[in-house]
Amino acid sequence: MKKKQKKRPAKKRPVCLITGASAGIGSALAREFANAGWDLALTARREEPMVELAKELKEEYGSTSHIIVADLSKPGACADILERLAKKTTHIDGLVNNAGYGLTGNYTENEWPAHKDFLTVMLEAPCEMTRLVADGMVERRFGRIINVASLAGHVPGSRGHTLYAATKSFLIKFSQSLNLEMQEHNVKVSALCPGFTYSEFHDVNETRGAVDKLPNWMWMTAEEVAESGFIALARNRAVHIPGASNRMIALLARLIPESWALKLMSRNSEKFRKDKR
Ligand SMILES: NC(=O)c1ccc[n+]([C@@H]2O[C@H](COP(=O)([O-])OP(=O)(O)OC[C@H]3O[C@@H](n4cnc5c(N)ncnc54)[C@H](OP(=O)(O)O)[C@@H]3O)[C@@H](O)[C@H]2O)c1
Which residues are paired to 189 by β-bridges? 145
What are the DSSP calls for 138-177, one per residue?
A: HHHT-EEEEEE--GGGGS---SSSTTHHHHHHHHHHHHHH
Average pLDDT, the chain: 93
pLDDT score of 168:
98
Angle at the Cα of 134 (from 148 to 72), degrees rounded to 5?
50
Centre of ligand 1 to C-alpha 102, Å, is: 9
End-to-end, the C-alpha distance of the chain in Å comes to 84
Q: What is the mean pLDDT of residues 140-162?
A: 95
Q: Is any ligand 1 atom within 6 A of the Cβ of residue 200?
A: yes
- The CA 200 to ligand 1 mean position distance, Å, reads 8
Residue 215 — pLDDT band, cuts 50, 70, 90? confident
% residues pLDDT > 70 (the chain): 94
pLDDT band at 208 (very low <50, low <70, confident <90, very high): confident
Q: Which atom of ligand 1 is nearest to the CA of 77?
A: 32
Measured CA distances, 111 to 33, 95, 99, 114, 128 (Å):
38, 31, 22, 6, 24
Q: Are strands 239-240 and 187-192 parallel, antiparallel or unpaired?
A: parallel
Query: Is the distance from the beta carbon of residue 153 to the nearest atom of ligand 1 less than 6 Å?
Result: no
pLDDT for position 38: 98
Residue 161 has pLDDT above 80, yes or no: yes
Task: Check pLDDT > 60 for residue 277.
Answer: no
Q: How confident is the model at residue 8 (pLDDT cuts 50, 70, 90)?
A: very low
Is residue 61 among the annotated active site residues? no
- Look at ligand 1, atom 39, and give the residue with the nearest C-alpha: 45
Q: Quick one: 223 exposed, middle or buried, by C-beta within 10 A (0-12, 13-18, 19+)?
A: middle
Task: Write down the catalytic residue from 61, 107, 164, 198.
Answer: 164
149 CB burial (10 A radius; 0-12, 13-18, 19+): buried
Closest ligand 1 atom to Cα of 97? 45
The model's confidence at residue 274, banded by pLDDT at 50, 70 and 90, is low
Summarised one tens digit per residue, pLDDT across range 60-111 is: 999 999 999 999 999 999 999 999 999 999 999 999 999 999 999 999 999 9
- Is residue 25 within 8 A of residue 1, CB to CB? The reply is no
